[in-house]
Amino acid sequence: MTLLSAAEETTTGRPTPGRLRVVLMLDVHDGAQDRFLDAYELLRYQVSSVPGHVSDQLCQSIDDPSRWLITSEWESAEPFLAWVDSPAHREMVKPMHGCVSDTRSLRYTVLRETHGVTAIDTPAPPLRPGEHHPGVPGVPRPGPDGVVRHALSFTVKPGTEAEAAELLAGYRSPQARVDDTTRLLRTSLFMHGNRVVRCVEVAGDLPTALRHVARQPEVRAVEEALNPYLEEKRDLDDPLSARDFFQRAALPVIHHHAGLKSGPVQRHAYRYPVRPGAGAALVELLSEQDEHAAADPGSPLVRATVHRHEDLVVRLVDLLVDPADDPAAALGLAGPLAAAVLGKLTEPVEHTREGLRHLLAECAMTPVTDRTSAED
């Protein structure tokens, strides 16, 4: 039996090719914890760029602080076994050799998986007669600037993109002031193929703001006119149907980074071609890249917001330059983790200006509307 077939064998004796979970148990020497953590930080970014790697996690025992656990997930056994037997692997793990006294590696094929509920089951506020419910699952928290950011994403029937875009761009903005504590700030809407992404920014309470928007006759008319174009049916007059739609459509903010830079900015959105299962790892890498770029006075990145639901990753950026002039900054590939970011994408991309311009064109979302509310 080969190593590969052994790794994929189940208790029923049937081969089950699929994702691989690797569990590495370690005992760390007394006084070597800081060196071990430094070595792990270096190792995890190097491993992120290895083809087939999906994610990893570091855990410390609550009973014995000297005992640690590293788990990693791989697309299948083949890329892991190829990497673990390579000279590159031996070089990567050398910094850990002086930190640990004992290791044990276990490898498992993932057979079953249960995901937690993606929406918070909070009671829906009562509806007024004839009112559409915005259906926001849970309440996103404001960022350090006091702004609440959220996004919704859904798809329209292929071939109807132009008609849907015309409808979505055609309504008049609601008044900015909702009440004494809540204001609508900005709505940015983009499309990528038949996928629609609507990003909203609110000062105050997001559910209150969205209920206010839902009551506007012009908004209701547009939403009703859009219904025939949607791939998934919805009935916004039915509270349960509305709630179900908005739970599926929710695209939460994972991170937002902003720098103290001034000048005219351009807003753009990018949808990344993510390897299956690599969405969470990709946004973690992008977060570190964006934090570095936002703080760098030489970077044209002013603000970056990443939204994610499973492997749907959308990044909204405000830039001081045209993206084609600096595709690396536009895509979040201008920092030291660029190779790791590229390793999470479905197709290999060369980190050259031409390669990044090709990726930029593939990821770029088409702007439909970007507007502040009427009072602004």
DSSP 157-169: -TT-HHHHHHHHH
Above 80 in pLDDT, residue 214? no
Specify the pLDDT at position 9. Answer: 33
Confidence of residue 22 (pLDDT cuts 50, 70, 90): very high
The predicted model gives 202-207 an average pLDDT of: 87
Confidence of residue 373 (pLDDT cuts 50, 70, 90): low
Phi, psi of 270 (to 5 degrees): -135, 135
Please compute the mean of the pLDDT values over residues 55-78 and round it to a whole number.
89
CB 319 within 8 A of CB 264: no
Report how far apart, in Å, the C-alpha atoms of 132 and of each of 118, 172, 216, 251, 318 are.
22, 18, 10, 20, 32
Mean pLDDT for the chain?
83
Most confident of 2-11, 200-209, 232-241, 301-310: 301-310
Give the fold, CATH level 3, of 147-251: Alpha-Beta Plaits (3.30.70)
Q: Alpha-carbon distance 266 to 291, whole Å?
A: 19
Query: Which whole number is the average pLDDT over 2-21?
Result: 44
Proportion of the chain above pLDDT 90, given as a percent: 43
Inform me whether the pLDDT recorded for 345 exceeds 80.
yes
Q: Select the more confidently predicted residue: 164 or 84.
A: 164
Query: Rounded CA gap, 266 and 324, in Å?
Result: 12
Each residue of 108-159: pLDDT tens digit?
A: 888 876 654 333 333 333 333 333 333 344 457 777 788 999 999 999 999 9
Write down the pLDDT at residue 198.
94
Residue partners of 238: CB distance under 8 A and separation at least 6: none
| Higher-pLDDT residue of 188, 97 | 188
Q: Note the pLDDT of residue 319.
A: 97
345: left (phi over 0), alpha (psi -120 to 50) or beta: beta
Q: What is the pLDDT of residues 312-334, one digit of tens each?
A: 999 999 999 999 999 999 999 99
pLDDT in tens, 37-55: 888 888 887 888 788 888 8
**Is pLDDT of 18 > 50?**
yes
pLDDT tens-digit map of 243-272: 788 888 989 999 999 998 988 999 999 999
Of 4 and 209, the one with more pLDDT: 209
* Overall average pLDDT of the 182-208 stretch: 92
Rounded to the nearest 10°, the torsion over CA 84, 87, 90, 94 is: -150
Range ranked top by mean pLDDT from 88-92, 250-254, 298-302: 298-302
The correct answer on CATH 3.10.20.90 for the domain covering 3-109 is no
- In 3D space, the residue among 200, 125, 189 whose CA is nearest the CA of residue 154 turns out to be 189
**The pLDDT of residue 13 is above 60:** no
* Per-range mean pLDDT, top range of 65-69, 117-121, 134-138, 362-366: 362-366
For the domain covering 254-368, report its CATH number. Answer: 3.30.70
CATH 3.30.70.100 domain position(s) in the chain: 3-109, 147-251
Instruction: Name which of 102-106, 118-122, 195-199, 226-230 the model is least confident about.
Output: 118-122
Q: Is the separation of the CB atoms in 290 and 306 below 8 Å?
A: yes
Using DSSP's 3-state secondary structure scheme, residue 60 falls into strand
Residues of the chain with pLDDT > 70: what percent? 87
Q: What local confidence, expressed as pLDDT, does residue 365 receive?
A: 98
